[in-house]
């Protein structure tokens, strides 16, 4: 453990819950700031089903697993501890820092917390969608649109925003079919935009995906029709933040168009003194580079806060004059 702060033995300066892009980035900058830091990670990053990660400058096309493994290697050189495990709960530790309990009963203490536990994409219950998620069933054209450009796309409408995803992906292919599935219908403005984008609209419920030789070949409708498609875009039914630890601690939440997420300031500081949050646990729009950036900000904010807390305590102890 580093010992460059006014800390009690056996207690970390900072603990990061979740070792994805956001958490590892926070840990990297805190380790480099000579804070004793522990990362506890359950090992289920959101993009794990995807073979390649895109849009990450200088790491475009790397596998998500290789990216995080490289991050962990970097942490090791700054003395950051990384532990596999799941945090079951965290609680204030007699008004001074936090006591964190892992699912296996292990306990750890830390002065500050960064919660970077990500979110879960709750997928529509359509036969084949979960099985092919991240392969030829996709959600984000910025992540994977280039790799499937110009192929025949299917888009399964989200009931809340039936036209949105089909319009988005029309930049990557001129052959887009929107399946209205359970979305009631289209507004006149949406219909006009879809028409302008050359998107074909198919009504009727989707029963599942047609797959041959482990390759998506079409979208199967409840009436038995199969519309040949090579790629399907679909939005999650619900984006569920993995925020149990934050909720239990009593962090304030905010309503967003995607559901409830923890309220944070620009540095990731939550409403709870000493607790930061970063990455997808704070909102679904943080792609990998954004998650890395948010983790970095949280790490710097904690480093500064502890520096001044320790200096002020030391100054108060010095004899006057
Ligand atoms: C299929 C798919 C493909 C994607 N492709 C791309 C892409 O190409 N480019 C891109 O920029 N973005 C992509 N994304 C988005 C990307 O996954 C997120 O931006 C990124 O994962 C956010 O990082 P994070 O650190 O916030 O969360 P995560 O990466 O999800 O990491 C959170 C970590 O916290 C752990 N954890 C959760 N709860 C606990 C707990 N209680 N205790 C300990 N650990 C816990 C989890 O197991 C996980 O390891 C993709 C998303 C999906 C769904």
In angstroms, rounded to a whole number, what is the distance separating the alpha carbons of residues 103 and 84? 11
The pLDDT value recorded for residue 4 is: 64
**Closest C-alpha to ligand 1, atom 46:** 44
From the CA of 244, give the closest atom in ligand 1.
Answer: 41
pLDDT tens for 247-286 read: 999 999 999 988 899 999 999 999 999 999 999 999 998 9
CATH topology classification for 11-121+238-317: FAD/NAD(P)-binding domain (3.50.50)
The pLDDT value recorded for residue 83 is: 97
Measure the N-to-C terminal CA separation of the chain; round to a whole number of Å.
35
The pLDDT value recorded for residue 7 is: 77
Whole-number Å distance, alpha carbon 69 to ligand 1 midpoint, is 14
Whole-number Å distance, alpha carbon 21 to ligand 1 midpoint, is 7
**Closest C-alpha to ligand 1, atom 53:** 47
The pLDDT value recorded for residue 1 is: 45
Return the ∠ at Cα 316 (arms to 310 and 319), rounded to 5°: 130
Whole-number Å distance, alpha carbon 135 to ligand 1 midpoint, is 16
The average confidence (pLDDT) of the chain is 96
Phi, psi (degrees; rounded to nearest 5) at 254: -130, 150
- What's the CATH superfamily of 124-234? FAD/NAD(P)-binding domain (3.50.50.60)
Phi, psi (degrees; rounded to nearest 5) at 99: -110, 125
Residue 50 has a CB neighbour count (10 Å cut-off) of: 19
The pLDDT value recorded for residue 90 is: 97
Give percent above pLDDT 70 in the chain. 98
What sign results for the dihedral spanned by CA atoms 198, 202, 206, 210? Answer: negative
Q: What is the mean predicted confidence (pLDDT) over 4-10?
A: 76
Q: What is the mean predicted confidence (pLDDT) over 87-101?
A: 93
Residues with a CB atom less than 6 Å from ligand 1: 17-23, 40-47, 49-50, 53-56, 86-87, 116-118, 121, 133-134, 143, 242, 245, 279-280, 286-288, 291
11-121+238-317 and 124-234: same fold?
Answer: yes
pLDDT tens for 156-175 read: 999 999 999 999 999 999 99
In angstroms, rounded to a whole number, what is the distance separating the alpha carbons of residues 272 and 275? 6
Locate the domains of the chain by residue range.
11-121+238-317, 124-234
SS3 217: strand
């Amino acid at each position: 453990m580093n010992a460059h702060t006014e800390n009690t033995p056996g207690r970390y300066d900072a603990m990061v819950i979740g070792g994805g892009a956001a958490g590892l980035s926070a840990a990297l900058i805190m380790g480099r700031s000579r804070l004793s830091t522990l990362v506890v990670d359950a090992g289920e990053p959101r993009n794990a089903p995807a073979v390649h990660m895109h849009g990450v400058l200088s790491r475009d096309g790397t596998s998500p697993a290789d990216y995080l493994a490289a991050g962990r290697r970097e942490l090791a050189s700054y003395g950051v501890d990384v532990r596999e495990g799941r945090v079951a709960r965290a609680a204030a530790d007699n008004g001074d820092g936090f006591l964190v309990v892992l699912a296996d009963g292990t306990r750890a203490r830390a002065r500050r917390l960064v919660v970077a536990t990500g979110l879960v994409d709750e997928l529509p219950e359509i036969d084949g969608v979960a099985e092919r998620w991240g392969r030829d069933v996709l959600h984000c054209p910025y992540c994977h649109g280039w790799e499937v450009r110009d192929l025949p796309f299917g888009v399964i409408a989200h009931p809340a925003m039936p036209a949105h995803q089909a319009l988005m992906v029309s930049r990557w292919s001129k052959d887009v079919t929107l399946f209205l599935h359970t979305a009631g219908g289209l507004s006149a403005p949406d219909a006009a935009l879809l028409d302008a984008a050359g998107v074909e609209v198919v009504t009727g419920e989707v029963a599942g995906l047609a797959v041959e030789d482990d390759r998506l070949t079409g979208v199967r409708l409840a009436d038995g029709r199969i519309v040949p498609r090579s790629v399907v875009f679909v939005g999650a039914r619900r984006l569920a933040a993995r925020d149990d630890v934050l909720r239990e601690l009593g962090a304030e939440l905010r309503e967003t168009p995607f559901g409830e997420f923890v309220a944070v300031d620009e540095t990731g500081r939550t409403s709870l003194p000493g607790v930061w949050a970063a990455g997808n646990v704070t909102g679904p729009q943080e792609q990998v580079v954004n998650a890395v950036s948010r983790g970095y900000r949280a790490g710097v904010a904690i480093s500064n806060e502890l520096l001044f807390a320790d200096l002020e305590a030391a100054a108060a102890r010095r004899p006057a004059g």
